[in-house]
Amino acid sequence: MNKVSSNTLLSFALDLASAVTQPNRFEQLVYAVRATINCDAVVLLVNHNDVLTPIAQRGLSDDLMGRRFSIEEHPRLKVICESNYPVRFPADSTLPDPYDGMVIGHDDHLRVHSCMGVPLHLEGKLIGVVTLDSITPGVFDDINARALEIIGAMSAMTLNTAILMEQLEDKTWQAQQELQAINEQA
């Protein structure tokens, strides 16, 4: 079972602090979550106009990255997005799982047995979601709810910072290109 100690949360915070300066910052966020919570798969999805887009993942097939998930069309994702707190789904949940058959190293038709989602809010707005999945039933049951809330809050801040860093890098690159074009004309 999963237990999240104070030391584990501290390690998570340190991992996140270093993640935002890395070129693969979204993957580093996923790595930090997976290092903190034992699971088979973690996906980081960003919300844009009620469509969730995977931007980093570990443990699922690569074709996940090309998919888009309309919140309204995926009941589990909708439940997560409508919550202000992490959501754990019972192993016998009848809601379809968007990742069934996608866990690496398992039969294509194997259903995911433990599913959890953490909504990422910033200033009251849903900016993304972290989903965690495991083949092992009940693997998330013993995780302290407050620890999950802390992980969610820290992940939301890291996601926001990473997005802002990416936008800043893009603007810097564009400015450099414009400056180079001006210099070449002079």
- State the CATH number of the domain containing residue 173: 3.30.450.40
Residue-level pLDDT at 17: 62
pLDDT for the residue 50: 96
pLDDT at 107: 60
> What was the pLDDT predicted at 108?
57
Closest CA to 71 of 55, 41, 99, 47: 47
The model scores a pTM over 0.85? no
Q: What is the pLDDT of residue 27?
A: 86
User: Count of domains in the chain?
Assistant: 1
E-strand ranges in 49-138 read 51-58, 69-70, 87-89, 114-122, 125-134
pLDDT at position 179 is 84
Which residues of the chain register pLDDT less than 50? 1
Task: Quote the domain boundaries for residue 106.
Answer: 6-185
For residue 1, is it within any domain? no
The pLDDT score that the predictor gives to residue 20 is 62
- Nearest-CA neighbor of 58 among 33, 88, 21? 33
pLDDT at 1: 46
pLDDT at position 110 is 58
Exposed e or buried b per residue across 124-142, where buried means at least 16 C-beta atoms within 10 angstroms of its C-beta: eebbbbbbbbbbeeebbee
Going from the C-alpha of 133 to that of each of 6, 110, 113, 155, 182, the distances in angstroms are 23, 12, 8, 17, 51
pLDDT at 52: 97
Tokens of 133: 């999945």
d(CA 139, CA 158): 25
Structure tokens at 87: 């959501």
DSSP characters over 128-142: EEEEEEESSTTTTTT
Q: Residue 16 is encoded by which pair of tokens?
A: 């996140």
The pLDDT of residue 135 is 86
* Residue 158 pLDDT: 83
